[in-house]
Structure 1
């Protein structure tokens, strides 16, 4: 323990705090100085669990400056999101802390950053957890940084834990980094969303052989927030409520949706109604994301309609409201998102508009986050068999996994020590790997429990803020006296007739483009398929149409229900037929189709055949019939593009009867009908066969596309 008087540290820290916040009379919140003193004076390891807006960033910026004045090296700050990094760099500058970041969005600045680090001109280096495993950074820069680090900070530390609501494989790597910290280097972990189970887990990972962990935990109640839940019957009603009442919400805010498609559709509808809103998702260009953040901060827009991509660390202290169109999968995740509002205001409104489709969306995302034992074994086998280094692209052609899931699985195997990332790809380490079924079962059970708790939050008659606090094991949980259960519904419930009409029209929109494939996947020869390079123009599909996406707010729900495996196969329903007629009527396809053909289907033969016949009847077009399946037909794969193509490449044929019918017609396009489109390879292969059989072009049509 340092012999430095606590009072001297407090006076110095208070001066820095007042510079940071720009107020000469600023005072520390309860627990802030205790954390700073533990790091600066005692060189301890500390976990700070405090509500959003409490000032966790002030703790590590002030500690950094004080440690640097005492001759310590730079702080390494592990930060999860680019938006958070931008805000933290700006906040650090206000306190005179020289902060820089290394992330995927500023590769052009890395050379300058490393030079400044070498010259000791950097106080805080912000890096993402993913960057820690970049081979060059890990092997060339990180060892030197660890040797001279003055403070390690892990922001959003709940991600370290298996039990944290936003568990990420890359964060598990921080356990090893913490263990590598030289003796006497203080370590700080911060989060606003940790229950007791997460706290104990993080404490265990922070602890060293020589010292324990100081945990500073405060009450998590957000007294500025006014919580409410409004249950409406369907997506149209929720959108109509927004159209009618968005202006009544204070200031500017965030409207959260569960899917990218919902964010885009909602933003479009609100803009068409005259609201100044922007969509913000993981698919938004990084430059556009940064611009949107700045517009919200400057109150130049009423709202950002966002997915969880706008989450941890986004800092707008005067954010006036948060509305959720659909519920997150746990109260803890919900608390984290609504914590964006009311950080520096007396009042902010928080409203949840849950939907019946929420649970299906939770299940989809939950299933995509857990490693599959057989797939993991296949990846390891391929790397071991090769014996060298294999790129992600090459590995994708050898294992049946989509790129995104392959990359996630490689991260998990890397953290587990079975594989390692090197400059040119991946290689097996030779370390035996065992699928921890018990661990993943525990995580799965915890996720199910969280989902049930979220449903309980929606229906509780007790205080909503107290419910969220108890979900986080906050011993200070008390009724807030502000939410709709403590008082009365504070939100308007009326919906204008014009808004209902606009919402119905928006949700009843039909027609989604099906882009034709133009390139065969690489590596097909390794799968026994002789296809490579560009798809010849004379063999390609033309641009097609689908009725809707499965994720669409309007037709997505009925189509999800129709296409789920438990729904009996049946003829096309009249309501769908009417919508299909509208798609076809609005389709500017140039030459009109001369005939209709259909894809063969094992799971829904009645549906596909009746759909094709109905289109044939309505359009007064001859139905050529269905293509035929060969052998065992398509081999199911939810994996990557190469495996999906290999599964269908030789699965179809055009019968002699269909060819004869086609040759009796004048040359022209053929409309090729299917129920559902995901990878587009089945349609691409079938369209190529129809082109070879004499079709001038092939126009695909389907009821639904995945996204």
Structure 2
């Protein structure tokens, strides 16, 4: 953390002070006390540590004037120093503990360690330490805690909201909203739990100062956050401090490589040449795991860090990176805000984020405490498909929202997410996000036992949601331009963040020339191609019925009987990976032209089948859990890609020297099933699947295990219900085999 004074602070507030007034000696004494706390925080025994002008201005506003402030400053500027110094000074003056709303556990761990250096006692309440909550509350009540870090998700927990939150609101001496851009659905990382802060702010006693901080907000997001926090720049009670966003240590570059194999080979050949240790960001969990496995096989010390990583493994991975025991973490955005390693030497993006705001935030992890750090973007052809997928998870259309409110109102009691999910057209994560927004808007309320409708009127802000969608599209276009621009890359990013001081940096590849060659060794390229084209991933079957089906008139619940289940199957690849995903997406994307399965794809599927037969539990390898050899093939008829699926099934039957026994199809009277949550998907499919004429007879004449062939498995329920239908007709084991899975 640097503490050399920067230029004059741009702010929108007067410089008077309620505590120091016009008394220069009082103001000087407060400044000296603040610098003394800073010295303890950064471990400086020389007495030379000094706050930046804007740091001091924010602290003075919080401590002396008891005001609300919004600080928008670059990563590494020292925003945490502001609230830790302010906390120490306020506690000396008898104020209650500081409450910090902090979005990530990694950030919380860093903050607790930093606070301890300054003699500040910090504790946390989050989803991973519920067994400590009562003890923490007792410590707060006894005055033994200076800083309490709270995850935003706790704000929407009924017990926390109704019991803990009122206590905190009554006793807190300073409220801090860290990573405040999360409060804005115009920001790159909108989190609806943050919107609960409006209620918290309304319940604060008069005179309790509030600090909101972020490094990743353009003017639109800044204004939105300021409005929601009640700290708008046009308010007489507000202070907004916004500084320049240049990062003098960062050297930005873009490397455009022909394909995923070249990108992996480039990483293998150049990773050890990069300074220090760093982070390799990917856009999906599948890609992170794929890259980690490849680089590990090449002898590099790397570890994966994703939303699927267990918490203990995350902590271990962070510690390994902090101690330089690994060269890099291969991470999704799960490793983002708050992770603090001052000597992080590089950040590489294997795939382009959809927003320059997100990109700036992630590259800001590098170069905080070193003179030079490398930042490289390696865009890929899969990027745009991944952008489209995440865009599809936006706030639902009004009809779905209204239907959800009607279901809750009709229930007359709180409904849990598993009970509500089958009755609406939304998947669990998207449904929960929508309910949190509706909760803040007053239309629903989260209670013990689930969610209930309040009956309060609610207006669907279609104009706002459309505007947000347009802004997201504009941000995607900005990232396309960033990858191809010939102007200064840092200046480009700073202009996207509305930095009025944006200027050429003189350091990026466009300013100073390329520093990295794009060529790769032929042996490394061949090894990468071999890894990426290695076909086959497991396809786990559905074993439990979704919760809530009986309420919809479908008496299916609990475990699917073993005699009705499919076996574990195989897929050629994932749509989200950087190997087969890039080959399969054009075949399976909406609107793709139907046609016979390409030869290279069919050959790869046959290789998957052969590997499956020889592998553990396969029908050739034998063993206690071995499958019997399939005796025939049944295809799942496709409305969108009939030629593709038919030719795939025929090709597999020919290669395996098995008969094509028939087809599972949708009844002509069945409506087209929509991609939805599991409950709705089962409801739509149940009773709509049937065996084409002659299929049941062929199965009876050729008893034994069957291969069930389809093009794509998203939820897995089409395969599950088709297998159940085949088992009911006397088929033996049913082994699903598909081209691709979503995750």
Determine the structure 2 residue equivalent to 1:124. Answer: 147
1:13-48 CA distance string (max 9 Å, x none): 111110110012212223111111111111111111
Determine the structure 1 residue equivalent to 2:736. Answer: 700
Mapped contact 1:319–1:342 kept (Cα < 8 A): yes
Q: CA–CA distance in 2 between the matches of 1:164 and 1:363?
A: 17
Shift of 1:694: 1.9
Determine the structure 1 residue equivalent to 2:133. Answer: 110
Determine the structure 2 residue equivalent to 1:617. Answer: 654
Shift of 1:653: 2.2
Determine the structure 2 residue equivalent to 1:192. Answer: 215
Other structure's SS at 2:53 match = coil
2:722 pairs, out of 686, 690, 703, with: 686
Q: CA–CA distance in 2 between the matches of 1:577 and 1:77?
A: 55
Mapped contact 1:245–1:492 kept (Cα < 8 A): no
Is 1:150 the counterpart of 2:187? The answer is: no
1:79-109 CA distance string (max 9 Å, x none): 1111111111111111111111110111121
Mapped contact 1:634–1:648 kept (Cα < 8 A): no
Is 1:351 the counterpart of 2:373? The answer is: no
1:674 pairs, out of 703, 710, 733, with: 710
Determine the structure 2 residue equivalent to 1:162. Answer: 185
Shift of 1:407: 0.8
1:452-509 CA distance string (max 9 Å, x none): 1111111111111111111111122121111101111012322111110111011101
Shift of 1:170: 1.4
Q: CA–CA distance in 1 between the matches of 2:559 and 2:222?
A: 53
| Structure 1: 5+ residue stretches without partners | none
Other structure's SS at 2:483 match = helix
Q: CA–CA distance in 1 between the matches of 2:665 and 2:37?
A: 75
Shift of 1:255: 0.2
1:363-416 CA distance string (max 9 Å, x none): 211220323212211111011111222122211232232111111111111111
Q: CA–CA distance in 2 between the matches of 1:216 and 1:626?
A: 66
| Structure 2: 5+ residue stretches without partners | 1-16, 21-25, 620-627
Q: CA–CA distance in 2 between the matches of 1:497 and 1:111?
A: 60
Mapped contact 1:206–1:213 kept (Cα < 8 A): no
Determine the structure 2 residue equivalent to 1:633. Answer: 670
Mapped contact 2:285–2:306 kept (Cα < 8 A): yes
Determine the structure 1 residue equivalent to 2:53. Answer: 30
Is 1:100 the counterpart of 2:123? The answer is: yes
Flag the 1:527–1:473 CA change in 2: closer, same or farther, 3 A: same
Q: CA–CA distance in 1 between the matches of 2:302 and 2:473?
A: 34
Shift of 1:635: 4.2
Other structure's SS at 1:130 match = helix
Q: CA–CA distance in 1 between the matches of 2:127 and 2:240?
A: 32
Q: What are the within-5 Å matches in structure 2 for residues 533-552 of structure 1?
A: 533-552=558-577
Is 1:567 the counterpart of 2:567? The answer is: no
Mapped contact 1:277–1:304 kept (Cα < 8 A): yes
Q: Which moved more, 1:318-327 or 1:377-386?
A: 377-386
Shift of 1:627: 2.3
Determine the structure 1 residue equivalent to 2:301. Answer: 276
Aligned positions, number: 706
Determine the structure 1 residue equivalent to 2:499. Answer: 474
1:611-631 CA distance string (max 9 Å, x none): 111111111111102124324
Mapped contact 2:341–2:365 kept (Cα < 8 A): yes
Shift of 1:632: 2.5
Other structure's SS at 1:523 match = coil
Is 1:601 the counterpart of 2:638? The answer is: yes
1:643-671 CA distance string (max 9 Å, x none): 11111111222356223222333x42111
Q: CA–CA distance in 2 between the matches of 1:362 and 1:324?
A: 15
Mapped contact 2:38–2:81 kept (Cα < 8 A): yes
RMSD: 1.5
Other structure's SS at 1:33 match = helix
Determine the structure 1 residue equivalent to 2:11. Answer: none
Is 1:580 the counterpart of 2:605? The answer is: yes
**Normalized against structure 1, the TM-score is what?**
0.98
Determine the structure 2 residue equivalent to 1:245. Answer: 270
1:167-190 CA distance string (max 9 Å, x none): 221122222322332211111111
Determine the structure 1 residue equivalent to 2:19. Answer: 3
Flag the 1:208–1:291 CA change in 2: closer, same or farther, 3 A: closer
Shift of 1:300: 0.3
Is 1:72 the counterpart of 2:95? The answer is: yes
Q: What are the within-5 Å matches in structure 2 for residues 645-664 of structure 1?
A: 645-655=682-692, 657-664=694-701
